[in-house]
Structure 1
Amino acid sequence: MDRYLNVFISVAEQQSFSKAAKLHHMTQPAVSQYIRTLEERMNTKLLDRNNKRVHLNKAGEIVYHYSKEIMGMYERMHYLVDDLNHTANGPLKIGASYTFGEYILPHIIAKTKEHCPEVQPIVTIGNTEEIAALVENHQLDIGIVEGHFKNRTLIPHKFAEDEMIIVATPTHPLLQKSHITHHLLETQTWIVREEGSGTREALNNVFKLLAISPNNLIHFSSTQPIKASVESGLGISFLSKWAVKKELARGELVAVDMNFLPYKRTFAYLTHSPFQTKSLEVFIDILCHHQLD
């Protein structure tokens, strides 16, 4: 059955029988037969054909979603069994939210490769909600997220603290004030992450703490353009110290001094299986003992 699901996933993602046939080294009629057999087992059509392309219908979307989850579990089962008799090796699917993924994770992976050269890290970067969903659907072996986390099936394992600060360009008018009030912060242009990210959640918590509701928000889906925007004087932002460590050292950005800062949040990792490969065990051990300084 896994072969049928694999072929179906390829057709759905490639939107083409011929492209899926090439991926699986099959003939196009053979791919068509696999899809027909799967549709017969599901007792419904899964694909619509239009202008030489194929698209998932509603039933197809459901089957595709669970096929990805099933194949992720099947692949993980295979590696766990194979792992019993071998040293740490093979793919390790790691997901991380942007702050950790862009500024800390590369160091963890480098240490993991030192200990286990045959491990093959496959990294996905996304916001906290996206990473949690991929772990829940068994498409990632581990996910690293930041901030408060809500999920009925995944339990976060906290392993480190992160400090967050307000940053501005050194010439920003806000820094010329002798006293920065909460009202003054409310009137600023804020360069912010999208809803669903851990960084945005932390900022929303700070807004609640200060009882302010800034109206002038500019949204970006990653940290790099936020830093560039702040450096250009477009506005201020609220970011992890890790994310702005180099810019602070070079004087390109400065921290806005407020009595409630730094704001602290936690980094946590998520898994969705009681079993761990040797590669994942090594990675988690290095992750939990890495010094964030």
Structure 2
Amino acid sequence: MNFHQLHIFYTVAEKGSFSAAAQALHMTQPAVTMQIQSLEDYFGTKLIHRSTKKIELSEAGEALLPYALRSMELFRETDEAVAAYTDRLQGRLLIGASLTIGEYVLPRLLGPFGKKYPDISIVMNVMNTTQIVEGIMKNQLNFGMIEAPLSHPDLIVEPGMHDELKLIVPAQHPLVLLQEVKLEDILEYPIIVREKGSGTRQVMEDAMKDKGIEPSSLNTVMELGSTGAIKSAVEAGVGITIISPYSVKHEVALGLVKVLDLKDITFSREFYEVYSKSSMLPISAVTFLNYLKKYAQDLDVIGRIGQSTS
């Protein structure tokens, strides 16, 4: 018995067929069958009952399944523990990222990561959540980064980075002169929001409802389908907005917009890592996710220092 066989067994059980498992594992179906037979020979009992339409675990197979899962979890933990000490990594890293993460967060991290691991080739596609899930399930992506929680039986979804939406206003806006800005202060000003169905808009509206304020009370003058369009409208003085401060670092540096805190409300959310339960992440992907977590921890420490000194 070896880990590879346990991995194959778990994947067959998860996918519900030998053919689907073979596709997920990049193996031929006869090779998958042979490995399962070897595992059954080792234990001396049937683990999977086969029929023309479906598979069914035997009692022994049901007993083995949680141990196979634990072995995979231990393998992932082992990768994470060793990844920090591995400098000469090679390979191709395929990432899917949703809009804010892909356009404004990850590009700032890929450069330093690429310098540290120059032999890793990184391909990042900006996609919606549905496309990311499909890419992972078809083994076209190693993992994805999304802006809202997701429930899927074949995927692991866990928080990777924290984000907090902020009030973004033109540099010369009257709100800049206030010592404190409250939610009621922004209701009289024209505001630009993301389109319905946007994760950014959902976070904003949910937080307002928690405070007993209906989003309809906002003086909404535009609904735009991209963060870039919203930034351009704010720069032009069309209105104010509530979006991720990650997306306006350049505009803030140029003095085009200001980022303001709202005293009585926060718009917090998580960015989530998503990857397959049954397909093992390559060590390059594990290393990048650890790098991402370290970056997020550093940001959190900087944020706490800033709060304590303000």
Contact 1:147 1:202 in 2 (8 A): no
Report whether the alignment pairs 1:77 with 2:82.
no
Q: Percent identical across equivalent pairs?
A: 28
Contact 1:156 1:268 in 2 (8 A): yes
Post-superposition offset of 1:115? 3.8
Across the aligned residues of Structure 1 and Structure 2, the Cα RMSD in angstroms comes to 3.3
- TM-score where L is the length of structure 1: 0.61
Q: Which residue of 2 aligns with 1:240?
A: 244
Q: Which residue of 1 aligns with 2:255?
A: 251
Report whether the alignment pairs 1:104 with 2:94.
no
Report whether the alignment pairs 1:114 with 2:63.
no
Post-superposition offset of 1:127? 3.8
Counterparts of 2:273 and 2:246, CA distance in 1: 18
Q: Which residue of 2 aligns with 1:124?
A: 125
Counterparts of 1:181 and 1:107, CA distance in 2: 31
Letter of the structure 2 residue corresponding to residue 272 of structure 1: S
Structure 1's 77 and 279: CA in aligned 2 closer, same or farther, altered over 3 A?
A: farther
Equivalent residue runs for 1:48-197 within 5 Å: 74=23, 77=26, 88-172=89-173, 182=183, 185-186=186-187, 188-197=189-198
Post-superposition offset of 1:257? 4.2
Letter of the structure 2 residue corresponding to residue 106 of structure 1: P
- TM-score where L is the length of structure 2: 0.58
Structure 1's 168 and 217: CA in aligned 2 closer, same or farther, altered over 3 A?
A: same
Alignment match of 1:227 (pick from 224, 231, 241): 231
Contact 2:204 2:267 in 1 (8 A): no
Residue deviations 1:236-271 (CA, integer Å, cap 9, x gap) = 111112212232344321234422344221122100
Question: Following TM superposition, where does structure 1 have runs of at least 4 consecutive aligned residues deviating by more than 4 angstroms?
Answer: 73-76, 173-184
Local SS of the residue matching 1:156:
strand
Q: Which residue of 1 aligns with 2:210?
A: 209
Counterparts of 1:76 and 1:253, CA distance in 2: 49
Counterparts of 1:137 and 1:75, CA distance in 2: 7
Residue deviations 1:174-226 (CA, integer Å, cap 9, x gap) = 55779866566445433222344432221222332342213635233322221
Q: Which residue of 1 aligns with 2:199?
A: 198
Post-superposition offset of 1:105? 0.9
Counterparts of 2:193 and 2:151, CA distance in 1: 22
Contact 1:165 1:261 in 2 (8 A): no
Q: Which residue of 1 aligns with 2:294?
A: 289
Contact 1:192 1:238 in 2 (8 A): yes
Contact 2:156 2:277 in 1 (8 A): no
Report whether the alignment pairs 1:266 with 2:267.
no
Contact 2:195 2:224 in 1 (8 A): yes
Gaps of 5+ in 1: 1-69, 79-86
Contact 2:183 2:262 in 1 (8 A): no
Letter of the structure 2 residue corresponding to residue 99 of structure 1: T
Counterparts of 1:93 and 1:270, CA distance in 2: 13
Counterparts of 2:108 and 2:136, CA distance in 1: 22
Aligned length: 216
Alignment match of 1:278 (pick from 265, 283, 288): 283
Of stretches 112-121 and 162-171 in structure 1, the one that deviates more from structure 2 is 112-121
Residue deviations 1:88-147 (CA, integer Å, cap 9, x gap) = 433321011222222221233223323432322111113445434433454321111124
Letter of the structure 2 residue corresponding to residue 232 of structure 1: A
Contact 2:24 2:137 in 1 (8 A): no
Contact 1:127 1:197 in 2 (8 A): no
Local SS of the residue matching 1:104:
helix
Local SS of the residue matching 1:216:
strand
